[in-house]
Amino acid sequence: MLIHTDYSIKNLNSFHIDVKAKYFIEINEENELTQLLHTDEYALNKRLVLGEGSNILFTEKFDGLIIKLNTKGISVIEESETEAVVESAAGEKWDNFVKFCVENKLYGAENLSGIPGTVGAAPVQNIGAYGTELKDIFHSLEGYFTDGMRKGYFEPEDCEFDYRASVFKDRFKNAFIITKVRFRLSKLHSLHLNYRDLKEIYKDQPAESILLADVRESILGIRSNKLPDPYEFGNAGSFFKNPEISNRKFKELHEKYPDIVHFKVDSTTVKVPAAWLIEKCGLKGYRLGQTATHSKQPLVIINLGSAKGKEIAEFADFIQAKVKKKFQIDLIPEVNII
Ligand code: EPU
């Protein structure tokens, strides 16, 4: 078992921040986790489990042990006439799992095509896009509690999934290592095309003639049009969550800005797009030093090349302050700032 010291993680975070971890280990087989438990590097240090580092901003050297899960394997473990349960190792790329489902004509994951990151990281923030969230197809997961590497098993009701949130981002933050995730997919033709851009693409096509593989291609196309390629400009997707505000607050805003878009959350709350708020502050495509908001989607903060993590965090603070001043709304980061 090889534990690296003072290891550069520049290529292991999608913001491409050039920082080091005091200790770093790659886990290729699940049983290596139990061996790791008995090392001083594990016992005496804080730890961080890293997927592809696509939702994290390092603002300084990580003074502890980074554990990167590289475990692989995707397979159907259960099936009926109408459904299949697919199990994936945590270290698989998320999009490999989606591709597997689409190739096997399993419906449910296609709207989540192209999301960067690993399968193991996906439940942590209940990833979502184009009208689907991970929780909609989630079956169960397993892994280890970091104190003593006790095995743990979570069903949907144990995960407390919410908008970009779960028990693994909250109560069990850094306390549980996800090693396997299972999903329930449908074998029946069932697509979710309510999201505006998808509706537009398929408006003239009868629903039953739309192919699963085409929906995946459409999603990949929408994403590449709107979102920056992390290989070109380091980024972590949406930097902030879309804020949820009261109906009363929304009414005030709507009177002032009749063009504001909103989505109903429940009878008392609505969600407004953070991208809209940022744009209205004049910060779409705004550049500050080595950081900027993306010119097509200002909710995405990009590294123009050599930004330090602190610089990006300060830019995020600057955006939060502008939005707060103009709208009295707090933007909450979606990205994990370390
Ligand atoms: N908008 C603007 N200006 C812009 C872009 C968007 O005003 O330049 C407004 C529009 O009103 C638009 C609304 O923002 O209708 C929503 O924009 P978009 O559909 O691009 O999605 P988003 O709310 O900004 C969320 C997720 C994305 C996900 C997309 C698509 C969050 C924090 N982000 O973004 O997820 O891909 O919806 O479903 O919920 C991520 O989490 O990293 C991520 C990229």
Ligand 1 atom 41, closest CA: 238
Which pLDDT value is given to residue 231? 84
CATH of the domain spanning 234-337: 3.90.78.10
Q: Given pLDDT bands bounded at 50, 70 and 90, which one contains residue 116?
A: very high
pLDDT at 222 over 90: yes
Give CA–CA dist 82/214, Å, rounded: 21
**Whether residue 164 lies in the annotated active site:** yes
The tokens of 128 are what? 């979502």
Burial (Cβ within 10 Å: 0-12, 13-18, ≥19) of residue 131: middle
Q: Given pLDDT bands bounded at 50, 70 and 90, which one contains residue 207?
A: confident
Provide, rounded to the nearest whole percent, the portion of the chain with pLDDT above 90: 93
Count how many Cα atoms sit within 13 Å of the Cα of residue 234 in the half-sphere of its side chain.
25
The four Cα atoms 102, 181, 88, 15 give a dihedral, to 10 degrees, of 80
Task: Single out the catalytic residue among 92, 218, 238, 244.
Answer: 238
Which pLDDT value is given to residue 303? 96
Residue-wise pLDDT tens digits, 19-75: 999 999 999 999 999 999 999 999 999 999 999 999 999 999 999 999 999 999 999
Ligand 1 atom 11, closest CA: 261
Atom of ligand 1 nearest to the CA of 130: 38
CATH of the domain spanning 74-225: 3.30.465.10
- Work out the number of other CB atoms within 10 angstroms of the CB of residue 44: 10
Over range 189-199, report the average pLDDT.
93
pLDDT at 327 over 90: yes
Q: Ligand 1 centre from 10 Cα, in Å?
A: 27
Atom of ligand 1 nearest to the CA of 111: 38
Q: Record the pTM.
A: 0.93
The tokens of 329 are what? 């709304």
Which pLDDT value is given to residue 1? 83
Q: Ligand 1 centre from 196 Cα, in Å?
A: 11
Average pLDDT, the chain: 95
**Whether residue 334 lies in the annotated active site:** yes
Task: Single out the catalytic residue among 52, 54, 87, 164.
Answer: 164
Residue-range domain boundaries for the chain: 4-69, 74-225, 234-337
CB 305 within 8 A of CB 290: yes
Over range 126-141, report the average pLDDT.
97
CB 109 within 8 A of CB 213: no
Question: Residues with Cβ within 6 A of ligand 1?
Answer: 129-130, 226, 237-238, 241-242, 261, 273, 275-276, 279, 284, 297-299, 334
Residue by residue, what is the 3-state secondary structure of 55-89?
Answer: CEECCCCEEEEEEEECCCCEEEEEECCCEEEEEEE
Atom of ligand 1 nearest to the CA of 237: 42
Residue-wise pLDDT tens digits, 243-277: 999 999 999 999 999 999 898 889 999 999 999 99
Residue-wise pLDDT tens digits, 72-89: 999 999 999 999 999 999
**Whether residue 52 lies in the annotated active site:** no
pLDDT at 163 over 90: yes
Which pLDDT value is given to residue 52? 92
Q: Ligand 1 centre from 130 Cα, in Å?
A: 9
Question: Does 2.40.50.140 match the CATH number of domain 4-69?
Answer: no
Atom of ligand 1 nearest to the CA of 223: 36
Residue-wise pLDDT tens digits, 166-185: 999 999 999 999 999 999 99
